[in-house]
Structure 1
Amino acid sequence: MEEVNRFVQIRRDLHKIPELGYQEFKTQAFLLNYLSGLSKERVEIRKWKTGLFVKVHGTAPEKLIGWRADIDGLPIEEQTGLPFKSEHPGQMHACGHDVHMSIALGVLTAFVKKPLKDDLLFIFQPAEEGPGGAAPMLESEMMKEWRPDIIFALHIAPEYPLGTIAVKEGLLFANTSELFIDLKGKGGHAAYPHHTKDMVVASAYLVTQLQSIVSRNVDPLDSAVITVGKITGGTVQNIIAENARLEGTIRTLSAEAMSTVKKRIEACVKGIEAAFECEADIDYGSMYHQVYNDPERTAHFIEYLEKNQKESLIICKEAMTGEDFGYMLKEIPGFMFWLGVQSPFGLHHAKLQPDEKAIEFAISVLTDYFQTL
């Protein structure tokens, strides 16, 4: 039988039980079971909804160092064929949060056994994929009491080679917003279109109009994305659709561009209402603040990597991905970085298979780096 690293096995066990936002009951129980085996004198645990705050007491603390690991999965049917594939139909750790948790537990365990001078706070955060757990966790009474002085996190990156860390000062991830548009017209028989208000046609017109916003309303030197990923409407082939729903996402590199995009979406929707004599409703769902890496803290990390892991360091560009860790970085100085896991399939893909050797690599780098803080 294959012998695997302890925290690789933990990743595999967690991979079997992916759960959606605020439904991470098995995941929380798994984490609590593991933590129960660690020194109770050194570790203090507090539940928050389906997440956890875990404080590791230092020997002579002067500050509190925070580390965030997200714990939820995605509504995706896994297609990896792995022997430890998801046991939950229609749910998968397709964004690497199983890897994030196993790394966090590895670092946590190392400092329980050999404590730092300063206290550490490990935040196991639910609902990163939606509806968003970082902002409410940040405002919780627990985090007001245990407020980190600095905070860090990582995210796996399938496109980067194993053993690499990609990071940059300043903006790393975009501002993001969900987009839901519901159209209501008048249904009827397909043979009598003049007696109806067809929402399939209206939705088709709206999609094409939305695609002009980025090219004609956003500064070409800025960046934005509007993607409509799902359209539903109608009931059967010979009935004109009374309702239609568009679901999508907005990504921008600046808050100003996000405001511009939303104003133009609202103007386009009003135009559709007038042109097709219908009613429309817009819902922006979850909105995530940009991930902005504190320049001073990030420069310190880059300096550490240049000295100790020079071959691993990649200075990357900002990405249009979204992460609700941005809310924490808005209030607390710190940074997030990409961890290379070298997979042919990307994030949110049903066949994502991160290289598990990245787990041991990340634990080693982080346990060493934390000793420099």
Structure 2
Amino acid sequence: MDICALRRDLHQHPEVGFTEFRTATIVVEQLLSLGYDVRFGRDVMEPSSRRGLPSESELDHALSRAIADGASEAIASQMAGGFTGVVATRRGTAPGPTVAFRFDMDALPILESQDTSHLPQAEGFRSAYDGNMHACGHDGHTAIGLALAKQLSEQPFQGTLKLIFQPAEEGGRGARSMVDQGELDDVDRLFCFHLGLDLPLGWMSGGATEFLASTKLSAHFQGVSAHAAAAPEKGKNALLGAATALLNIHALPRYSTDATRVNVGVLEGGTAANIIPDSARMVLECRASTYEVNLDLERRVRDILTHSAAMHGLSCDIEVIGEAATATCDKDLIHLAMDQAKATEWFTHVVDSHPMRASEDATLMMRRVQERGGQATYMVLGTSIAAPHHNPAFDIDETILPVAVCFLGRLAMHTLLS
């Protein structure tokens, strides 16, 4: 398997959360060809737990596009409606622990750079889907997962290997559905990882710290339209209610005990200058360095939304469209990861922790494993990047790809009693 060629193919065909039909189909086909027991679609995702699902028309368009670009229609059609999760299992020759690796697959709604200095542009694998881009390295994660699957398909071991390919990590939208479906309930040890995150090539961290719990909300304000000059008193201005909420959300006090964040990222409504807007939509988030404080911050945000609506005689429907928790990496797995990284004789700097200062819905998987008596860690594998994550000029140094496969393979074989 040419891991760089695979990564570049995935980079050229980036699919945002719950529309990873082509990507997930490739994953399914590769895993089946390697002899894994593969489940996907509704079998591995709880429908009601998916967050921030795209519209039906967006899902249908993405499915048609994937099939036109070579995805198996027989497989992709079973993922219709946004069921793009994949889980592969291989059982060893004797009983033993269940060891899982998690890989995220989704891209971002970003227009990729066309600058000639941008390697994907220069080498001809820039995004073919304008407006979508792999700007966080998930194309590399998926390619690593498939190369690891190939490597481990030829190795004898004891126990059970589980490879989890998750959709919709961006925005914290996809992990919950796989957790609620029970895909982590039998896992004894869970390894998650990310490329980059400000660690240079040659560096590796056995665990991540400073995850921010997060809740992402969509709020719809409903009022009554009216003529803005002839009958303004007969209208109920939904945009005004939403603007009131925006100002008060951003005026929330900081916490003395935690790092907290609030942000209104989208505010839209209205149709013309002379019409009282009867509807408005807001998309926002809150984050905190502890799960409990984020819950309290979310409660305050919800209060502001509902009371701002009430002030202006509006209704307000609130939907959770994304979530992530905090998590603590288990020391045993941190040290194991560090030992195996050193044994590769490639990593020049191996450390026990690296601060995230951001949100990751892998934390929901980690917490489920730990709640049931298992262990989990979230590793960071350094790689040079051309620009910051989520930037139009983002790209990774592909040198890390085969190194990551070798490292994860060592982890797997050490934990799956050989």
Instruction: Provide TM-score, normalisation by structure 1.
Output: 0.85
1:304–1:255 Cα change, 3 Å = same
1:62–1:271 Cα change, 3 Å = closer
Match status 1:165 vs 2:201: no
- 1:371 corresponds in structure 2 to 413
Q: How does 1:175-324 map to 2 (within 5 A)?
A: 175-191=213-229, 194-195=232-233, 196-215=235-254, 218=255, 220-305=256-341, 311-324=348-361
After alignment, is 79-88 or 177-186 more displaced?
79-88
Match status 1:329 vs 2:366: yes
Secondary structure class of the residue paired with 2:358: coil
2:172–2:360 contact (8 Å) kept in structure 1: no
2:215–2:298 contact (8 Å) kept in structure 1: no
- Measured in 1, the distance between the counterparts of 2:33 and 2:287 equals 42
1:214–1:261 contact (8 Å) kept in structure 2: no
1:70–1:124 contact (8 Å) kept in structure 2: yes
2:340–2:410 contact (8 Å) kept in structure 1: no
The one of 378, 388, 395 aligned to 1:346: 388
- Measured in 1, the distance between the counterparts of 2:18 and 2:306 equals 35
Match status 1:45 vs 2:38: yes
- 1:132 corresponds in structure 2 to 173
2:199–2:383 contact (8 Å) kept in structure 1: yes
- 2:57 corresponds in structure 1 to none
Q: How does 1:101-140 map to 2 (within 5 A)?
A: 101-129=142-170, 132-140=173-181
Q: CA deviation at 1:194?
A: 4.8
- Measured in 2, the distance between the counterparts of 1:227 and 1:29 equals 35
1:361–1:316 Cα change, 3 Å = same
- Measured in 1, the distance between the counterparts of 2:113 and 2:10 equals 17
Secondary structure class of the residue paired with 1:372: helix
Q: CA deviation at 1:21?
A: 3.2
The one of 16, 23, 26 aligned to 1:27: 23
- Measured in 1, the distance between the counterparts of 2:162 and 2:125 equals 30
2:172–2:324 contact (8 Å) kept in structure 1: no
- Measured in 2, the distance between the counterparts of 1:300 and 1:167 equals 8
Aligned CA-pair RMSD: 2.8
Letter in 2 for 1:47: F
- 1:99 corresponds in structure 2 to 140
- Aligned-pair identity (%): 26
Letter in 1 for 2:287: R
Letter in 2 for 1:324: D
Q: CA deviation at 1:327?
A: 1.9
Q: Which runs of 5+ in 2 are unaligned?
A: 43-83, 115-119, 370-374
1:116-142 per-residue CA deviation (whole Å, 9 max, x = no partner) reads 444321112223336733333234366
- Measured in 1, the distance between the counterparts of 2:16 and 2:145 equals 20
1:84–1:275 Cα change, 3 Å = same
1:56–1:108 contact (8 Å) kept in structure 2: no
Q: CA deviation at 1:76?
A: 3.0
1:189–1:15 Cα change, 3 Å = same
After alignment, is 83-92 or 191-200 more displaced?
191-200
- Measured in 1, the distance between the counterparts of 2:366 and 2:220 equals 34
Q: CA deviation at 1:282?
A: 2.4
Instruction: Provide TM-score, normalisation by structure 2.
Output: 0.76
2:223–2:313 contact (8 Å) kept in structure 1: yes
- Measured in 2, the distance between the counterparts of 1:251 and 1:324 equals 13
Match status 1:10 vs 2:40: no
- Measured in 2, the distance between the counterparts of 1:301 and 1:214 equals 40
Q: CA deviation at 1:304?
A: 4.4
- Measured in 1, the distance between the counterparts of 2:153 and 2:388 equals 34
1:208–1:317 Cα change, 3 Å = farther
Q: Which runs of 5+ in 1 are unaligned?
A: none
1:115–1:77 Cα change, 3 Å = farther
1:31–1:263 Cα change, 3 Å = closer
Secondary structure class of the residue paired with 1:72: coil
- Measured in 2, the distance between the counterparts of 1:277 and 1:140 equals 40
The one of 59, 66, 88 aligned to 2:100: 66
1:148–1:279 Cα change, 3 Å = closer
**What number of residue pairs does the alignment pair up?**
360
